[in-house]
Amino acid sequence: AVQTLILAIITMRCDWDREAEKAATALRNIK
């Protein structure tokens, strides 16, 4: 849970579009 929050914060500070796309892909892979 903590790692998810940290990744979310880093994502907001970095390239949002690219990071968000990778995060969405990762979530789809998990499910």
For residue 2, what pLDDT is reported?
92
Mean pLDDT of the chain: 83
pTM exceeds 0.85: no
First to last CA, the chain: 16
Element (H, E) at 7: helix 2-13
Region of 16 please: left (phi>0), alpha (psi -120 to 50) or beta.
alpha
1-13, pLDDT tens digit by residue? 899 999 888 877 7
Sign for the CA dihedral angle at 18, 21, 11, 29 comes to: negative
Structurally, how many domains does the chain consist of? 1
User: Residue 10: which domain range?
Assistant: 1-31
